[in-house]
Amino acid sequence: MADLKEVELLSTGVFLPGEPVAFDQIEAVLGPLSHAPERLKRMIKKLKSLSKNRIGIEQCHFAIDPGTRQQTETNTSMAVKAIRQALAKANMGPADIDCILLGNLMPDHQTPPTTTLIQEELGIERCAEMEIHSNCTGITKVMQIAHDGIRLGRYKNALAVYTQFSSAYLRSEIYNPEKIGPEHLLLRWFISDSAAAVVLRGHDKMKSGLKVTAVYNESLGGKLEAGMTFCHGGSGYDLKAAYEAGHQHFGQNYKAVEQFAPAILGQGFNRMLDVCAVKPEDIDHVIVTIPSLKLLEKGKSEALKIYAVPHEKWFSNVKEKGYTGAASVIVSLDELLEKKMFKKDQLLAGITIESSKWMVGGFLLSNLG
C-alpha cells in the first residue's frame, strides 16, 4: 500500500452578499413579524434590546435587496463566488479540481444536488462531488471527507465549501403567525448569509505551507433533545399541512444552548485534542463558531481554566461580519491569514459546535512556513 499523502490548505475564499446590515436594520431587511401575536410582539421589542448587547453582532450580510426585498443570491452563486476567490489565491483554475464537497442546511433544490450546479457554473466537465446536510459542523464534515480522500490518494485537489443561506427561511413572509413561538425570534438577529471555501491539495511530503494535521467530527447528543430545529422535510411533505404546523420555521432552544453549549464545546475540544495527541498549551490560535458574546466569553474562561488556552489566543470576526454557521470559522480564518497573524511553526485549532443535535467538529493547522 502506498504511503498516505499529506494535506495542504492552499487558500480560503469568502463571499458576503450585499452591503453590511447594521444590527438595528436587520428586522427591516428580513421584514418585521408584524403579524405575530401581540404577546410575541412585546417579547420581540424586549428581546431586541437585550440581544444587541448579549449577542454582540454589530453588522452582518443578507442575500436580499433591501429595496425590492427580492432574493439576490443562491447557495450556488454564493459558493461559486467564494470558490473563485479561493482558486485565484491558489493560482489555480476550476479544471484543476478533482472533487467538490459542499455542506449546507438547505440546498437550492432537492435534486439535482447543489454540488452539480456549482460544478456546472465553474465549467468543470467531470469531477467527484458530495453534499453534506448539516449546519454549524458542515464545514468540518466536508473537510474530513476531503482530507481523507486526499490522504488516500483518491483526489489531488479538492474544494471544501459551506454556504449559509439563512435569509431564505428567516424572511417574514414565510412565517405562519399562528405558529410563531419564542424559539423562532432570536435566530433572526444573529444568523446571516455567506459562503466560504477552502482549497486542499495532496503532497508526498510537505516542507512548507499550511498543513492540515487533523480533522475531527463527533456527535455528543445521542441522549439529548435537539437544540435547533427546522422540521420541514420528507417526513411530512404536505405543503399545506407543513405551513399550518409551522414546520417551515427555523427555531432554537435558547435555554438549552446556554445550558449545554459551553460543556459540549469543552468536551468536544478535549476529545479532539486527545484523539489528535495535541497538548492545549501548544495551540497558538483558536477559532470557534459561537455567535453570542456571552457564550464566547464563557467558553474562553472555561478554556483558560481547564485547557490553558488564554484569551489572547482566540480569534473571531463575527462581530464585524456576522454569524453564518459553519462558514464563520473559515471567514475568521480567511481574515487571520490575510493579516498574517498565523506565523511559521504555529498551531491553529478551528472548533465548530452545532446545537441541532449537539455535534462538535474541528481541524488543526500547522504553519510550516
The predicted pLDDT at position 1 comes to: 52
Domains recognised in the chain with CATH numbers: 6-203 (3.40.47.10), 210-367 (3.40.47.10)
Is the pLDDT score of 9 beyond 80?
yes
Q: For 54-66, what is each residue's pLDDT tens digit?
A: 777 889 999 999 8
Higher-confidence position of 62 and 354:
62
| pLDDT at 290 > cutoff 60 | yes
pLDDT at 13 over 80: yes
**What's the confidence (pLDDT) of residue 266?**
77
Q: How confident is the model at residue 183, as a pLDDT?
A: 82
Is residue 7 packed enough to be buried (19+ CB in 10 Å), middle (13-18) or exposed (0-12)? buried
Average of per-residue pLDDT values in the chain: 89
Q: At residue 77, does pLDDT exceed 60?
A: yes
Confidence band for 306, pLDDT divided at 50, 70 and 90: low
pLDDT of the residue at 100: 98
Mean pLDDT check: name the lowest of 136-140, 263-267, 322-326. 263-267
Flag whether pLDDT at 339 surpasses 70: yes
pLDDT for res 174: 87
Is the CB of residue 288 less than 8 Å from the CB of residue 314? yes
Distances (CA, A) of 128 to 101, 146, 287: 8, 11, 29
**295 band by pLDDT with thresholds 50, 70 and 90:** low
301 confidence band (pLDDT: 50, 70, 90): low
**What's the pLDDT at 292?**
61
Which residue carries 468543470 as its cell? 124
More confident residue, 369 or 291: 369
Q: Is the pLDDT of residue 98 over 90?
A: yes
pLDDT exceeds cutoff 60 at 45: yes
Chain segment 178-227, per-residue pLDDT in tens:
888 888 888 888 899 999 999 999 999 999 999 999 999 999 888 888 87
pLDDT of residue 42: 84
pLDDT (tens digit per residue) in 127-154: 999 999 999 999 999 999 999 999 999 9
Q: What is the mean pLDDT of residues 148-164?
A: 97
> Is the pLDDT reported for residue 51 higher than 90?
no
Contacts of 35 (CB under 8 A, 6+ apart): 172, 175, 177
